[in-house]
Amino acid sequence: WAEAHFRGAAQKKAIILEAEGTGSPTVLGDADRLRQLLTNLIDNAIAYTPPGGTVRLTWDTDGAFARVRVVDTGSGIASEDLPHLFDRFYRADRARVRSSGGSGLGLAIVQWIVNAHGGRIGIESRIGSGSTVTVWLPSVDATHPGTVPGGR
């Protein structure tokens, strides 16, 4: 879904879009909100990746969690901005505010969705090296369909 959905935006900026995963982790949750989570993360990655760069979506399982990563070769985020990225209306790259639009709500919404699904999120980034956003969501236990580890 994601690769087909974002192919046009990536091609418009000459960005290589990759999607690769192992298995089919299953998450119990609101499909529309989970799609919005991925949309916001991939939109950001494409927006902050220069032409010729790469945006990569990967997924796998990490114990009782489904793990999704969005990795980009964009401009990166300064360490002093990292603690504020999930604040509503916060824009790490103030120079892009006028030119790119956006409300500064995308990552705040992502964090809300992750929290509502009992998951967690982390961002690793350095200026000039791109960013990696990792989301862990409780996965449905394959041996007990319909249940989520931890009693959720």
pLDDT at 41: 95
Supply the DSSP symbol for 3: H
53, pLDDT greater than 70: yes
Cα–Cα distance between 41 and 37 in angstroms, integer? 6
Q: Where exactly are the structural domains of the chain? A: 2-138
95, pLDDT greater than 60: no
Q: Which residues is 96 bridged to in the sheet?
A: none
pTM here is 0.82
Residues 2-138: name the CATH superfamily: Histidine kinase-like ATPase, C-terminal domain (3.30.565.10)
The H or E element that residue 82 is part of is: none
Residue for token pair 């989570």: 37
Whole-Å CA distances, 123 to 16, 34, 71, 127: 21, 18, 10, 13
pLDDT at 99: 45
Residue for token pair 């249940």: 147
pLDDT at 4: 73
pLDDT at 60: 93
Contacts of 17 (CB under 8 A, 6+ apart): 3, 6, 7, 10, 46, 54, 55, 56, 57
Give me the mean pLDDT over the 143-147 stretch: 47
Give me the mean pLDDT over the 83-94 stretch: 67
pLDDT at 80: 83
141, pLDDT greater than 90: no
Q: How confident is the model at residue 121 (pLDDT cuts 50, 70, 90)?
A: very high
Higher pLDDT, 132 or 94: 132
